Amino acid sequence: MENTRDKHVDVMLFWGIIFVVMGHFYQLPYFFFPAYTFHMALFFFISGYLFKVKKTVREKITFIIKKIKKQLLPFFLMNLFFGFISYVLILKGINLTRGGINLHNFFIEPFISNHQFYLNIPNWFLFDLFVINIISQLILFKDSKKLKIIIFLITIPIAIFAVYKGLNKYVDFRLTAVRICYGLSFFFVGILFNEFKKDIIRLFSSPLLIMFLWSIVVLLKTSFGEIGYAIVWGSVLNTFYYIPLITTLIIVFISYIICYYISLIIKKDSAILIIGQNTFYIMALHLSIFFLINLIFYFFDKIDFPTLSKRYFFFEREKFFLIYEIPAIVLPTVLGVFISKVKSKFSKNE
């Protein structure tokens, strides 16, 4: 079967996951914008970009069932898997949990912070994306450009309000609400970009415009200070809480165009595309790879045993960042390619 994937989308996925990995470890100074100014917004954007409105009630029900299978169920299974791994590690004297192994961490905390098991932290995104997909499918009762624009305009004040409330640093179900409201806005940005992609690409094709947008971000950062935030905690680092939303939107625009032009020059078998097609595995497993590398450093007597229980410890981060980051990208990608080949083989045999 011919590969019908959109190269531009795969490049955006590659771009996003590279910044996720760097954001969780180390990003070279002056290499684009800091990961925590845009990376998760970009993933919500990409998901919206791929979103298709279903026209009938039956199609919408089928869509919801598919999302339960592809997003909600994997979310549960990964929490169980990493809970089991965390339990085994505790038996070995390594604690990478918050609050230990209990029913709350298996069935409640995933819907709040998903920080119950350190190795599973990045997968918080999956549940919120599931909810956003369902909300979007229900409120878009018809495939109308006008309706999409109206709902997007409604999401803007909701996102601003959510980021404002996020200043309270919630640790209960309100944290999930903040994330979802934030993500919904960028999800609809993606929907509109797909709706008007030809016009947008033509509009943003000028290098001068990219330079102008870049300069706006720099100007806002210079004028208002910190533009980074961790939406995983609803945590905005600027009292001018709306500034990170503005800069994120602009950086997503810039990323969209950069990835578009990259997609025009790379080949179909490019490593960039292969990595982009396996972001699920990288997102799910890169912290586990970081831990395994810490374990190797322990066996070589570079770190002591108690350090293995420190959630955010990395050995000489700035010196060895490639030792951590390259395997964190390559190994899950290899696993993803292997699983895809196995699935393809079984589907041919059926």
pLDDT tens across 322-334, in order?
A: 999 999 999 999 9
pLDDT digits (tens, 9 = 90+) for 174-186: 899 999 999 999 9
What pLDDT is attached to residue 5? 85
pTM here is 0.94
What pLDDT is attached to residue 348? 67
In angstroms, the first-to-last Cα distance of the chain is 15
- The first and second tokens of residue 193, run together, are 């970009």
210-224 CB burial, b ≥16 within 10 A, e <16: beebeeebeebbeeb
Asked if 100 and 176 sit in the same domain, the reply is no
83, part of any domain: yes
Asked if 155 and 240 sit in the same domain, the reply is yes
For the chain, the domain total comes to 2
pLDDT digits (tens, 9 = 90+) for 80-94: 999 999 999 999 999
Last residue of a domain, one of 128, 149, 183: 128
CA distance 82 to 256: 33
Cα–Cα distances (Å) from 33 to 36, 71, 218, 229, in that order, read 8, 29, 10, 13
Asked if 98 and 200 sit in the same domain, the reply is no
Asked if 92 and 207 sit in the same domain, the reply is no
What pLDDT is attached to residue 48? 97
Give residue 132's Cα distance to chain centre: 14
Q: Which domain holds residue 164?
A: 34-51+140-266
167, part of any domain: yes
- The first and second tokens of residue 96, run together, are 């990478």
What pLDDT is attached to residue 208? 85
